[in-house]
Amino acid sequence: MNPTGLVKCAGALIAIALCSACSGAQDNTAIAPSSAALSARYVGKTLWLNGRPVTAARAYLGPPLRYATIAPDAGEGRKREYVINYYGSYASIFDYPKSDAQIGTINDVGGQGCTDVLYGYGKKTIWIVAGANQIVEYKVRKTELVKTLSVSFSFPSSCAMDTGGDLAIGNLDGGQVAIFKNASGTPTVYSTAMDEEFFDGYDNQGNLFADGFTGDRSGFALVELPKGSTTFKTISTSNTVEFPGSVQWDGTYLTVFDQLADNIYQYTVSGTTATLEGTIPLSGVGDCAQTWIAKGVVYCGDASNYDGSVFSYPAGGSALAVFTGDFVEPLGVVAAEKR
């Protein structure tokens, strides 16, 4: 794969006839991605785009971009990667390592994603958090909508699943976490010490971790809801994290991505302390608004470079590939298999 394979340049937008991931047939829906419609402001360190807070630290607000033609989905291969764009837009679908070219879209979604594994490639379905009443589950094979859930708060930020199928949804404007038992019904909402929750993730023991900012939006915070507990506790890290990023188990360590340092930090957690065990730099990224660790790789949905990229994990370093496709302010990324 060619790390410079993404074609983008300033100029007129090209409306692209998109290809469905369902069967490889033409989807003829013309979507013109544009950053021109996005307006940005900061409240503390939190970025707001078009009047909505987002979990990205930075955004691309330059001239409109031109993108390469989307390739049809031939229906082969099991793996699918989803770069999830701005709220209400779409998720761009890929089939790396078979190709780095986009093969389809899921329309009318946006935000962060998760799936039914702690790390690696999810089994048959993905979740996308696009809005308070748009927490949606899709089948990987046919991009078929399976289920929609809702929360009481306005700005859901993150999602994570444990091995038992519970679904955790964070609140960017309040810091709470809502947990849906078996990913259904009405959630139980838990308070945290955070003012804003950005990302969450379970470890292999069923403990739920989340990160974000404290009350003045200036202090990074990591919290944990131990399995079986009803109260989040604050976890101190042995190093400084500048800006909250994805929280995910990697098979050995709890990881936290720092959106400003472009590093994945690996921790062991004991009591209320997270001890740094390793640092994995991702070179050349603008802002990985969400990362997803699979087996041997980590994916980045890059809000600042306006693309998606793939890195070796746990080696890090330069990108193995940069996705060629159609993006409008990437905010999330997740990977799954059709199975």
Delineate the domains of the chain, giving CATH numbers in brackets. 16-337 (2.120.10.30)
Q: 172 forms bridges with which residues in the sheet?
A: none
Quick one: pLDDT at residue 301? Answer: 98
Q: pLDDT band at residue 44, thresholds of 50, 70 and 90? A: confident
> Could you tell me if 306 and 326 are in contact, meaning their C-beta atoms sit under 8 angstroms apart?
no
Above 60 in pLDDT, residue 11? no
How far is the C-alpha of 21 from the C-alpha of 18, rounded, in Å? 10
> Could you tell me if 96 and 133 are in contact, meaning their C-beta atoms sit under 8 angstroms apart?
no
Above 60 in pLDDT, residue 21? no
286-325 pLDDT, tens digit per residue, is 999 999 999 999 999 999 999 999 999 999 999 999 999 9
- 3-class secondary structure, 182: helix
Window from 178-192, 214-228, 236-250 with minimum mean pLDDT: 214-228
Above 50 in pLDDT, residue 108? yes
How far is the C-alpha of 288 from the C-alpha of 28, rounded, in Å? 30
CA atoms in the 13 A half-sphere facing the CB of 19: 18
Rg (Cα) of the chain, in Å, rounded? Answer: 18
How far is the C-alpha of 217 from the C-alpha of 48, rounded, in Å? 13
Above 60 in pLDDT, residue 19? no
Mean residue pLDDT across the chain: 87
Token pair recorded at residue 120: 């690696």
* For range 213-242, the mean pLDDT: 94
> Could you tell me if 305 and 60 are in contact, meaning their C-beta atoms sit under 8 angstroms apart?
yes
| 229 contacts: CB under 8 Å, gap ≥ 6 | none
- 3-class secondary structure, 281: strand
> Could you tell me if 149 and 184 are in contact, meaning their C-beta atoms sit under 8 angstroms apart?
yes
Token pair recorded at residue 85: 């764009």
280-295 pLDDT, tens digit per residue, is 999 999 999 999 999 9
How far is the C-alpha of 51 from the C-alpha of 43, rounded, in Å? 11
Quick one: pLDDT at residue 70? Answer: 77
Cα–Cα distances in Å, from 72 out to 104, 105, 272? 7, 11, 49
